């Protein structure tokens, strides 16, 4: 099957507008992807026809809402090939998923002398929760170095990996560099010393199929809004055996079985980790986004995006004064760069005036910016609906930026 990208673009209404009197070229997909009509309509239809709380109402609307809500859990289970729907926990996003594991698993299993390994390229959301838990438990957070090209230094990883390491938490794909990390090797080696592993899949699941059973990871987290779904909804996958032994880090309604002032008993999985009224519309919208992607062969999406990315990298290498930050041979969806003598924020502002939307700054990954000695970068990130014409528009606009700033 060959993807008809122009037809696909018609599914995304936001793309068909002008920004600053220029056609919008949206290249900020690493921050959030745009939403197809299928997702927008699914959310609107829920509010128009089925709006009700789930699991609690003895009436038709609640039954319909609950049916969609739980079917969405099965949709996600199939999407990442988890064994059981009980292993799919709804969260607000990747950040909450990491925090849930850090506090529910980490506080009970880490102690003084233990180590948690993360890579130097992690998003703050995969650093700060572990810092907080390590401060409370006496464990040590240890960063794994990154090479000049932007790869995890696996020699250094091997040297750090010993019986003191109890947990490894690493991005599948770097949001700042686009590096695809060798997570299969990381998981296998971490398990060989008895460590548990969490993979941050926020930047991966939109680009190719993820199989958590094949990866053999203990936890996998991602956000709906980077997967053509709505904001405010995410997924934590966890092994059933681990989740059953973890204490919830938030309490309230829905996550309980019985409550008395003397003692509370917790609900069964997955509800044990889902206190309060959930983001029902977000769950339904995420399921719609997955159904949208399922129309296409994931290999076709991956091939198209790799073609656009390779073209962008070649265009970037031809620009005088442009320095690519992160040049791994294993990249997905992102080029990150600085222009000599300019500040990334100025570049981003001038690109926006020409209708080109990119991200600038440290991308919530300050340690990797420090590693390269830059205050931040300009990041262009690509999605299913992007084309080589979008790349051309970026670099045409960039030449005008250079003329203005130089």
pLDDT per residue as tens digits for the range 116-144: 999 999 999 999 999 999 999 999 999 99
CATH number of the domain residue 373 falls in? 3.90.1150.10
Which pLDDT belongs to residue 56?
A: 78
Q: Are residues 199 and 212 in the same domain?
A: yes
Per DSSP, the residues of 239-289 read -HHHHHHPPPSS-SSSSEEEE-SS-EEEPPTTGGG--SS--HHHHHHHHHH
Domain carrying residue 87 = 41-293
Residues 69, 256: contact at Cβ < 8 Å?
no
Quick check: is 158 in a domain? yes
What does the longest C-alpha to C-alpha distance in the chain come to? 71
Question: Average of pLDDT values for 185-202?
Answer: 98
Mean of the per-residue pLDDT values of the chain? 97
Residue 35 falls inside a structural domain:
no
Q: Are residues 354 and 264 in the same domain?
A: no
Taking residues 174-185, report their average pLDDT.
Answer: 98
Indicate if the pLDDT at residue 229 is higher than 90.
Answer: yes
Inter-residue contact 278 to 54 (CB < 8 Å): yes
Q: Which of 233, 266, 293 is the last residue of a domain?
A: 293
Is the Cα dihedral 83, 86, 87, 90 positive or negative? positive
Residues 198 and 171 in one domain: yes
Q: What is the mean pLDDT of residues 344-365?
A: 97
Residue 256 inside a domain? The answer is yes
Q: Region 350-357: what's the mean pLDDT?
A: 98
Residue 57 has pLDDT above 80, yes or no: no
Specify the range with the lowest mean pLDDT, choosing from 217-226, 252-261, 356-365: 252-261
d(CA 378, CA 323): 10
Q: Quickly state the pLDDT bin for 1 (edges 50, 70, 90).
A: low
If asked whether residues 254 and 117 sit together in one domain, one would say: yes
Considering 264, 293, 322, which residue would you say is the last residue of a domain? 293
> Do 380 and 237 belong together in one domain?
no
285 shares a domain with 141: yes
Q: What mean pLDDT do residues 156-174 have?
A: 98
Global pTM reads 0.97
288 CB-contact burial (10 Å; exposed 0-12 / middle 13-18 / buried 19+): buried
If asked whether residues 56 and 205 sit together in one domain, one would say yes
- Tokens 């996600």 correspond to what residue? 76
Looking at residue 109, the DSSP 8-state letter turns out to be H
The CATH number of residue 261's host domain is 3.40.640.10
Q: Read off the pLDDT band of 37 (50, 70, 90).
A: very high
In a domain, 36, yes or no: no
The last residue of one of the domains, among 257, 273, 293, is 293
Same domain, 202 and 275: yes
My answer on whether 165 and 312 are in the same domain is no
d(CA 90, CA 76): 10
Separation between Cα atoms, residue 105 and residue 243, nearest integer Å: 8
Give the pLDDT confidence score for residue 201 in this predicted structure.
98
Is the domain of 226 the same as that of 125? yes
Return the residue matching tokens 């128009």: 48
Which tens digits make up the pLDDT trace of 278-309? 999 999 999 999 999 999 999 999 999 999 99
Tell me: pLDDT of 325 over 80. yes
Q: Measured between alpha carbons, how far is 29 from 394 in angstroms, rounded to an integer? A: 14
Residues 55-66, mean pLDDT to the nearest whole number: 91
User: Number of folded domains in the chain?
Assistant: 2
**Number of residues that this document lists for the chain:** 406
pLDDT the model gives residue 406 = 76
Cα–Cα distance measured from residue 314 to residue 331, given in angstroms and rounded to the nearest whole number:
13
Pairing of strands 196-200, 165-171: parallel
Whole-angstrom distance, CA of residue 170 vs CA of residue 203 = 12
Q: Which residues are catalytic?
A: 364
């Amino acid at each position: 099957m060959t993807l008809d990208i122009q037809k696909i673009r018609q599914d995304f209404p936001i793309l068909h507008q002008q920004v600053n009197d220029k056609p919008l070229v949206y290249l900020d997909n690493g921050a959030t992807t745009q939403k197809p009509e299928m997702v927008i309509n699914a959310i609107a239809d829920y509010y128009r026809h089925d709006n009700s709380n789930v699991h609690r109402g003895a009436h038709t609307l609640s039954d319909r809402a609950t049916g969609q809500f739980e079917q969405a859990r099965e949709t996600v289970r199939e999407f990442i090939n988890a064994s059981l729907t009980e292993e799919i926990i709804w969260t607000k996003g990747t950040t909450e998923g990491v925090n849930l594991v850090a506090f529910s698993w980490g506080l009970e299993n880490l102690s003084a002398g233990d180590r948690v390994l993360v890579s130097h390229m992690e998003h703050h959301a995969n650093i700060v929760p572990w810092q907080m838990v390590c401060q409370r438990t006496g464990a040590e957070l240890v960063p794994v170095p990154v090479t000049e090209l932007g790869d995890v230094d696996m020699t250094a990883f091997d040297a750090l990996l010993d019986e003191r390491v109890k947990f490894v938490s690493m991005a599948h794909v770097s949001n700042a560099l686009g590096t695809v990390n060798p997570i299969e090797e990381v998981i296998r080696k971490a398990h060989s010393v008895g460590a548990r592993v969490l993979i941050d899949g926020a930047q991966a699941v939109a680009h190719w199929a993820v199989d958590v059973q094949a990866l053999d990871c203990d936890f996998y987290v991602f956000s709906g809004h980077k997967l053509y779904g709505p904001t405010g909804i995410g997924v934590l996958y966890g092994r059933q055996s681990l989740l059953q032994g973890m204490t919830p880090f938030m309490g309230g309604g829905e996550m309980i079985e019985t409550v008395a002032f003397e003692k509370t008993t917790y609900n069964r999985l997955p509800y044990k980790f889902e206190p309060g009224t959930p983001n029902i519309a977000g769950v339904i919208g995420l399921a719609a986004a997955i159904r949208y992607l399922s129309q296409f062969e994931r290999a076709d999406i991956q091939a198209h995006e790799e073609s656009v990315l390779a073209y962008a990298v070649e265009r970037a290498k031809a620009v005088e004064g442009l320095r690519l930050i992160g040049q791994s041979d294993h990249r997905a969806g992102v080029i990150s760069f600085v222009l000599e003598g300019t500040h990334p924020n100025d570049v981003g502002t001038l690109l926006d005036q020409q209708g080109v939307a990119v991200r600038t700054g440290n991308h919530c990954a300050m340690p990797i910016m420090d590693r390269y000695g830059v205050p931040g970068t300009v990041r262009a990130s690509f999605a299913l609906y992007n084309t080589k014409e979008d790349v051309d528009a970026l670099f045409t606009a960039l030449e005008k930026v250079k003329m203005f700033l130089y």
